[in-house]
Amino acid sequence: MNERIYMSSPDIGQLEEDAVVAAMRSGWIAPLGPDVDAFERELATRVGVAHGVALASGTAALHLGLLALDVKPGDVVVTSTLTFAATTNAIIYTGAEPYFVDADPSTGNMDPDLLRAALSSLRDTSRKVGAILPVDLLGKAVDYTSILAIANEFGVPVLADAAESLGATHDGKAAGSFGEASIVSFNGNKVMTTSGGGMLLTDDIEIAQRVRYLATQARQPVVHYEHTDIGYNYRMSNLLAALGRAQLARLDEMIARRREVRESYKALFADVPGVQIFGAANDQNDNVWLTSILVDEATAGWKPQDLVSALAADNIESRPLWKPMHRQPVFAGYGGLINGASENLFSRGLTLPSGSALNNEQRERVRSAIVAFLDRV
């Protein structure tokens, strides 16, 4: 069997290895240390915000971001249905309830018109909307111009889930800089990785301080560790921050590599009937984290699952888009404004190997497997 090709595997080399070894030899192993401070400064500067708080995961950043916005049990958090479960899980951790809003079919991101309708109908209930939590799907920033204007009109704070979009921009501003706070993820499959980790980014020093405090077991600054709040153990270790700094230095190079992969898929599928590259019409400001195709079965004469099977036979990973949250058994029963756009994308979408670590030989294997499949169907 051929060596397995993954959708998005870590892109790690000598620079990263040297950084982690240097951090170990410095004696700053855990928990915090100078690489954490430097990583927070460097990423906040890159994104253009005043504060970064490095955390154990993007999910932890979502959880504490919601708490810092004062989201309480019984509140409603309006969020995207087309996302990874971590977004919704973090809402549930706070005791609040998710309210799912459907997607703009051309981007998969939260549809601003549906957000407005959702906030209008929730205003007529006794429920408090604690926050809006939009998601930058697959590395394309949300239409923040519209979303933030609506949030402002209804007086609801925004926590932006930029887990997938580090390096992307909207209207000249970096993903990770929008809303009261944003979060990014350094999970192993994201554009850059710390093996596992995340960061909360904000211009608001009170939010940053609150998140820092909650992430370190909510210790009051006295020697005997006085506690007046429930805390969490969510900080990033110094070794992982060293890895993150090396990855951040290569972020643009890695995104450029992903863009090459995106462009080669565009060329490959250009003349294939019934297939389009998802979100490609307007992708110049995206970080092109993952490349997905949308298949119109009636025109193409084949289903996404047929290509999944063909690629799997050659040990190449591919996967559907995120299954919408309102369709997940664990989240059934929560409210939302659903018009079918996400389900349509879910049924037609297929994500292909997109990582910056793919070498030329692996890219050629994927290409020839797809060409062979298209010749057969």
Please give the backbone phi and psi of residue 37, each rounded to the nearest 5 degrees, phi first.
-60, -45
Q: Is 290 in the site for ligand PLP (CB under 6 A)?
A: no
Give the shortest CB-188-to-ligand PLP separation in angstroms: 8
Q: Is the four-CA dihedral 350, 136, 100, 98 of positive or negative sign? A: positive
Residues 6 or more apart whose CB falls under 8 angstroms from that of 138 comprise: 108, 164, 278, 279, 286, 289, 290, 292, 351
Give the shortest CB-190-to-ligand PLP separation in angstroms: 6
CB 233 within 8 A of CB 217: yes
DSSP 238-306: HHHHHHHHHHHHTHHHHHHHHHHHHHHHHHHHTT-TTEEETTGGG-TTS---SEEEEE-HHHHSS-HHH
Q: Which of 168, 174, 175, 202 is nearest to 55 (CA)?
A: 202
Q: Is 57 in the site for ligand PLP (CB under 6 A)?
A: yes
Which positions from 187 through 246 interact with ligand PLP, judged by CB under 6 A? 187, 198
Q: Is 58 in the site for ligand PLP (CB under 6 A)?
A: yes
Q: Is 84 in the site for ligand PLP (CB under 6 A)?
A: yes
Per the residue annotation, which of 140, 190, 266, 303 is the catalytic one?
190
Among 75, 102, 164, 283, binds ligand PLP (CB under 6 A): 164
Give the shortest CB-342-to-ligand PLP separation in angstroms: 14
Task: Give CA–CA dist 323/175, Å, rounded.
Answer: 23
Closer residue to ligand PLP (CB): 185 or 237? 185
Closer residue to ligand PLP (CB): 8 or 238? 8
Q: Is 286 in the site for ligand PLP (CB under 6 A)?
A: no
Q: Is the four-CA dihedral 17, 21, 24, 28 of positive or negative sign? A: negative
Task: Give CA–CA dist 147/257, Å, rounded.
Answer: 30
Q: Is 81 in the site for ligand PLP (CB under 6 A)?
A: no
Question: Does residue 190 carry a catalytic annotation?
Answer: yes
Q: Is 94 in the site for ligand PLP (CB under 6 A)?
A: no
Give the shortest CB-90-to-ligand PLP separation in angstroms: 8
Q: Is 83 in the site for ligand PLP (CB under 6 A)?
A: yes
Q: Is 40 in the site for ligand PLP (CB under 6 A)?
A: no
Closer residue to ligand PLP (CB): 85 or 374? 85
Please give the backbone phi and psi of residue 27, each rounded to the nearest 5 degrees, phi first.
90, -10
Q: Is the four-CA dihedral 106, 109, 112, 116 of positive or negative sign? A: positive
Query: Which residue stretch of 56-64, 213-221, 292-300, 332-340 sits at the interface with ligand PLP (rule: CB under 6 A)?
Result: 56-64
What track of x and - describes contact with ligand PLP for positions 143 through 162 (by CB under 6 A)? Answer: ------------------x-
Please give the backbone phi and psi of residue 34, each rounded to the nearest 5 degrees, phi first.
-65, -30
Query: Which residue stretch of 54-62, 68-76, 205-213, 294-302 sits at the interface with ligand PLP (rule: CB under 6 A)?
Result: 54-62
Task: Give CA–CA dist 66/104, Å, rounded.
Answer: 24
Give the shortest CB-24-to-ligand PLP separation in angstroms: 23
First to last CA, the chain: 24
Give CA torsion, residues 201, 204, 209, 215, to 10 deg: -30
Closer residue to ligand PLP (CB): 80 or 318? 80
Q: Is 59 in the site for ligand PLP (CB under 6 A)?
A: yes
The two structure tokens encoding residue 329: 């058994």
Give the shortest CB-165-to-ligand PLP separation in angstroms: 9
Task: Give CA–CA dist 337/327, Å, rounded.
Answer: 13
The SS3 assignment for 316 reads strand
Closer residue to ligand PLP (CB): 57 or 310? 57
Query: Which residue stretch of 78-86, 91-99, 252-260, 273-281 sits at the interface with ligand PLP (rule: CB under 6 A)?
Result: 78-86
Binding site for ligand PLP (CB under 6 A): 57-59, 83-84, 86-87, 135, 161, 163-164, 185, 187, 198
